[in-house]
């Protein structure tokens, strides 16, 4: 694949199909329960293609690309991250993409590509707030993963912890995102996060998963892990 050549929107599907690996398709499908169409294209190849699309008529691609496969959705999300555009246009494309997110992999990869969040964090923070209270599981996960990728740092930690405490969605992937985010909070700001955990309003499942993820971190010492394990709640049925 030549990285210097631009790609027309109508060429993308054929290029995507040329990257399919049947053996990889079986492996990828096993990691994505509930996802009906997985072509079998490796993520590094998707990223290379997305970068090429983003250098060309990426707006035309986003308008024309209506395929429903896992890879086609992933590619659209990556293009939004790589494309050069003003912040408000990026946010508009981000909002339009959210209904397409139906699995953890698309969600997390999409978030990892939205690095423009580092450039104007205040605006992006405001943009994310409504999605933390969404009724859609993966929309909530999107907002939470954006917080853990771009806002877990000392000057934002109090706001992040309050935001995470307010997430009430019952979906498994939303709860696991909150647990993951709290484990990242602990590794970056252990004092503030520990104080939060002692008085938080988290449900038992999310709270215990957060403790588990903290103890799985290599950045947390043995003594700390023992103290964290002792904080586990007995889940109420």
Q: Which two tokens stand for residue 26?
A: 């079986």
Percent of the chain residues topping a pLDDT of 90? 81
pTM exceeds 0.85 for this model: yes
Buried b (16+ CB within 10 A) or exposed e, 114-147: bebbeeeeeebbebbeebbebebbbbbbbbbbbb
202 three-class SS: coil
Average pLDDT along the chain: 93
Alpha helices (H) in 100-156, listed in sequence order: 104-113, 121-128, 137-150
Structure tokens at 217: 């971190």
DSSP classification of residue 133 = G
pLDDT digits (tens, 9 = 90+) for 128-143: 999 999 999 999 999 9
Could you count the other beta carbons within 10 Å of the beta carbon of residue 56? Answer: 18
Nearest to 47 by CA among 84, 4, 20, 76: 76
Q: How many helices (H) and strands (E) does the chain have?
A: 14, 0
Q: What is the pLDDT of residue 3?
A: 45
Residue 205's pLDDT band (cuts 50, 70, 90): very high
Contact present, 70 and 38 (Cβ < 8 Å): yes
Residue bearing the bigger pLDDT, 1 or 12:
12
Q: Look at residue 12 and tell me whether its pLDDT is greater than 50.
A: yes
Q: Identify the CA nearest to 29 among candidates 103, 97, 109.
A: 103
Residue of 160, 166, 157, 153 lying closest to 202 (CA atoms):
166
Q: Output the pLDDT for position 199.
A: 95
């Amino acid at each position: 694949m030549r990285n210097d050549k631009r790609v027309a929107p109508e060429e993308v599907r054929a290029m995507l199909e040329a990257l399919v690996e049947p053996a990889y398709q079986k492996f990828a499908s096993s990691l994505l329960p509930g996802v009906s169409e997985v072509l079998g294209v490796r993520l590094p190849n998707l990223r290379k293609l997305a970068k090429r699309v983003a250098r060309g008529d990426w707006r035309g691609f986003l308008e024309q690309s209506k395929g429903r496969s896992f890879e086609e959705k992933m590619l659209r999300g990556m293009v939004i991250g790589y494309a050069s555009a003003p912040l408000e246009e990026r946010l508009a494309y981000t909002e339009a993409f959210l209904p397409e997110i139906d699995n953890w992999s698309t969600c997390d990869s999409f978030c990892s590509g939205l690095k423009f969040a580092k450039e104007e964090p205040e605006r992006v923070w405001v943009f994310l707030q409504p999605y933390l209270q969404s009724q859609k599981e993966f929309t909530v996960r999107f907002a939470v993963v954006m917080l853990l990728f771009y806002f877990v740092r000392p000057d934002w930690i109090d706001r992040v912890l309050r935001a995470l405490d307010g997430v009430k969605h019952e979906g498994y992937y939303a709860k696991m995102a909150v647990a993951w985010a709290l484990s990242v909070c602990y590794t970056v700001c252990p004092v503030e996060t520990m104080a939060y955990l002692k008085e938080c309003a988290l449900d038992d499942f999310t709270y215990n998963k957060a403790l588990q993820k903290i103890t799985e971190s290599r950045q947390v010492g043995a003594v700390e892990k023992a103290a964290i394990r002792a904080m586990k709640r007995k889940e109420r049925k």
